[in-house]
């Protein structure tokens, strides 16, 4: 009984510490049945390239946000129900040790500092997702029937529109189709469609996805006039594709990259058998991908 009381108090203090780093923004993280599993810094592939984000794994939700003051202040808290998360192993292409986190509203790539940390994150997420679904009486493959959002391709991955091949400039800006995640120009993404898993309002979709959706249902108005996309001469287009060098995804500085690569320190927990180990929310641990205590 004493050990369980200590466990409960420690867990509450740690969840409160996580909430305090977000300055109490949004819905409270404290719940009687919520357990903090681990925390750490992962690289998240954003629209403008990889950025370090702080991640907190609980037994029922996954929380992440932007790092403002490492170990003390985080911002833009995002909360994802764990039973809506699907993880997929990926080969090292854009980032080393990367994998894909799929959710109905948003999907994105993340990367750990080492293969072991990547494996640990994926295993922890899958383990607690399975326990949560079991607790709710749901089949373990219930997410297979969900509609997941497509991950956005980063801006740096293409210098041309991925639909019409027009070269992007300061005036000819990049946009993202919410359905396929492709980088497209404004002329190729003038339409809006209702994708309920992403938003209750119509969102930007490319002309290719418009054709597909119009063949499926009425989420896109059929009588909306499509503006014809201006095509470049085939020789000019191929010349642009051949001569344009696409930049690689890199961290913003060597200092940031070296800080992110700090090895993880793992801790053994002896509080109880049926609960997760805990993270250690100390400033010196802020760059380690997964902390448990």
Q: 3-class secondary structure for 128-143?
A: HHHHHHHHHCCCCCHH
Q: Is 209 helix (H, G, I), strand (E, B) or coil?
A: helix
- pLDDT for the residue 58: 93
Quick one: pLDDT at residue 179? 93
How large is the average pLDDT for residues 163-189?
A: 94
Render pLDDT for 137-149 as a digit per residue (tens, 0 to 9): 877 666 666 789 9
Domains 2-148+250-285 and 155-243 share a fold: no
Whole-structure pTM value: 0.73
pLDDT tier for residue 191 given thresholds of 50, 70 and 90 = very high
Instruction: Report the chain's mean pLDDT, rounded to a whole number.
Output: 76
In a 10 Å sphere around its CB, with 0-12 CB exposed, 13-18 middle and 19+ buried, how is residue 101 labelled?
A: buried
| Measured CA distances, 9 to 15, 76, 255 (Å) | 10, 27, 38
Which helix (H) or strand (E) element contains residue 205?
Answer: strand 203-205
Residues with Cβ within 8 Å of 292's Cβ and at least 6 positions away in sequence, in order, are: 37, 38, 266, 267, 269, 276, 277, 278, 279, 280
Q: What is the pLDDT of residue 258?
A: 41
Return the pLDDT at 239. 42
- Which among 21, 24, 136 is positioned nearest to 84, based on CA atoms? 136
Give the model confidence (pLDDT) of 66-83 as tens digits. Answer: 999 888 899 999 999 999
**208-250: per-residue pLDDT in tens?**
999 988 876 655 554 444 444 344 443 444 343 343 333 333 3
Residue 114's contacts (CB-CB under 8 Å, 6 or more residues apart) are 97, 263, 264, 289
Does 42 score more than 90 pLDDT?
A: yes
Average pLDDT on 26-45 reads 89
Q: Which CATH superfamily is domain 155-243 in?
A: Zinc/RING finger domain, C3HC4 (zinc finger) (3.30.40.10)
Q: What pLDDT sits at residue 123?
A: 93
41: nearest Cα among 49, 51, 33? 51
Task: Quote the DSSP letter at residue 289.
Answer: S
Radius of gyration of the chain (CA): 22
Is 289's pLDDT higher than 50? no
Dump pLDDT digits (tens) for 101-138.
999 999 999 999 999 999 999 999 999 999 999 888 87
The top-level CATH class assigned to 2-148+250-285 is mainly beta
For residues 4-9, average pLDDT: 76
Half-sphere exposure of residue 251: CA atoms within 13 angstroms, side-chain side = 18
Domain positions in the chain are: 2-148+250-285, 155-243
Backbone angles phi, psi at 63, to 5 degrees: -120, 135
Can you give the pLDDT at residue 227? 42
Ranking 194-198, 246-250, 257-261 by mean pLDDT, the lowest is 246-250
Confidence of residue 89 (pLDDT cuts 50, 70, 90): very high
How much is the pLDDT for 6?
73
Percentage of the chain beyond pLDDT 70 is 69
């Amino acid at each position: 009984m004493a050990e369980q009381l200590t466990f409960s108090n420690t867990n509450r203090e740690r969840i409160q510490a996580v909430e305090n780093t977000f300055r109490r923004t949004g819905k409270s993280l404290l719940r009687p049945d919520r357990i903090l599993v681990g925390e750490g810094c992962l690289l998240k592939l954003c629209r403008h390239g990889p950025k370090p984000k702080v991640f907190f794994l609980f037994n029922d939700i996954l929380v992440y946000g932007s790092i403002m003051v490492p170990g003390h202040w985080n911002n833009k808290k995002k909360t994802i129900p764990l039973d809506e998360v699907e993880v997929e192993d990926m080969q090292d292409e854009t980032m080393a040790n990367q994998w894909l986190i799929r959710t109905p509203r948003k999907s994105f790539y993340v990367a750990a500092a080492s293969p072991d940390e990547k494996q640990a994150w994926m295993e922890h997420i899958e383990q607690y997702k399975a326990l949560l679904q079991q607790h709710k009486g749901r089949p373990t493959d219930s997410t297979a029937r969900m509609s997941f959002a497509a991950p956005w391709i980063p801006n740096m991955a293409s210098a041309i529109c991925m639909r019409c091949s027009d070269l992007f400039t300061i005036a000819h800006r990049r946009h993202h189709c919410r359905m396929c995640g492709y980088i497209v120009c404004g002329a190729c993404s003038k339409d809006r469609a209702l994708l309920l898993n992403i938003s209750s309002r119509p969102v930007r979709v490319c002309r290719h996805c418009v054709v597909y959706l119009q063949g499926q249902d009425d989420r896109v108005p059929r009588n909306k006039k499509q503006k014809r996309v201006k095509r470049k001469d085939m020789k000019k287009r191929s010349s642009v594709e051949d001569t344009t060098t696409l930049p690689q995804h890199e961290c913003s500085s060597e200092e940031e990259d070296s800080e992110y690569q700090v090895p993880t320190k793992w801790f053994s927990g002896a509080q109880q058998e049926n609960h997760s180990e805990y993270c250690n929310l100390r400033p010196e641990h802020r760059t380690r991908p997964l902390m448990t205590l």
